[in-house]
Amino acid sequence: MRLAPVAIVLALGGCVILPRSLTPPPNDETTVALLTGTLGPPLNDIARHPWFAIRRKGEIAWKVYEVGGGGSERDPFRKHTSYKDPIVHQIWRGAAAERGAACIEREAPKVKAQIERDYMFYPGPNSNTFGDVVLRRCALRASLPSTAIGKDWRGWIGAGRTSEGTGLQLETPIIGLKIGLKEGIELHFMGLSIGIDLWPPALILPLGPGRLGFADR
């Protein structure tokens, strides 16, 4: 019976209400997308890997930016090699996507090169650090899931605005805190996150898709 609460939490950790569709948007506008996918066992339930996908207006192929990969793909939403159970966390279209695409094309290679040079799975910097840094540098308002371990790496001690732009966070490799109007309250311990997301409402959990409740904004 003692295992029952653990089993319930594990089951609920996979519950996300109304997730975004994995069908790529039409190419009538420039599109930028942020997605994550699971790593292989035994990390598949506690760690996710992010990538940015860009497709210019009228083009067929997408250009993918990530640590450890990247390049041209036909469908980075459903057929991104090596990563399973993809989740779409945010999509930008039109003018916002044009600005975001230009920034990612300029900044992502520099961030990637630095992180690959200093890479450390824990506490960071790693592929999730890459995702968070690019979001902040390019003012693309979105959050990586709580299971993207390394997203909160700010050095051995660091503080600043959140990637959503409506909050602040203070981080060390051991413990950290994020507070924001959209982000809610998120506590970090050894790279794992737990808390309450205010909009849309959800519990932040350190497993599965990272939340119990409504999908990301």
Of the candidates 70, 45, 52, the residue with the CA atom closest to the CA atom of residue 149: 45
Report if residue 69 sits inside a domain.
Answer: yes
Range of the domain at 153: 19-214
Range with the poorest average pLDDT among 56-60, 108-112, 116-120, 190-194: 190-194
CA angle 215, 192, 122 (to 5 degrees): 120
The count of domains in the chain is 1
Q: Is the pLDDT of residue 85 over 80?
A: yes
**Euclidean distance between CA atoms 30 and 106, whole angstroms:** 16
Within-domain flag for 170: yes
pLDDT bin (cut points 50, 70, 90) of residue 75 is very high
Burial class (CB in 10 A: 0-12, 13-18, 19+), 10: middle
Looking up tokens 């997605």 gives 35
Distances (CA, A) of 217 to 17, 87, 114, 198: 12, 12, 29, 11
pLDDT tens column, 163-190: 999 999 999 999 999 999 888 999 999 9
- 4 located within any domain: no
Q: Which residues contact 167 (CB under 8 A, 6 or more apart)?
A: 161, 178, 179, 180, 181, 182, 183
The two structure tokens encoding residue 85: 């159970």
Query: What whole-number percentage of the chain has pLDDT above 90?
Result: 74
Q: Tell me whether residue 176 is in a domain.
A: yes
Cβ atoms < 10 Å from Cβ of 42: 8
Say if 12 falls within a structural domain: no
Computed on alpha carbons and rounded to an integer, the radius of gyration of the chain in Å comes to 17
pTM attached to this predicted model: 0.89
As a whole number of angstroms, the distance between CA 215 and CA 89 comes to 8
Whether residue 167 is contained in a domain is answered as yes
Distance CA(142)–CA(138), nearest Å, equals: 11
Give me 217's structure tokens. 């904004």
C-beta atoms surrounding 152 within 10 Å: 28
- Measure the CA–CA gap between 66 and 72, rounded to whole angstroms: 12
Mean pLDDT taken over the chain: 90
Q: Is the pLDDT of residue 45 over 80?
A: no
Residue 124 maps to a domain: yes
Could you tell me if residue 7 is inside a domain? Answer: no
pLDDT of 14 > 70? The answer is: no
- Per-residue pLDDT band at 4 (split at 50, 70, 90): very low
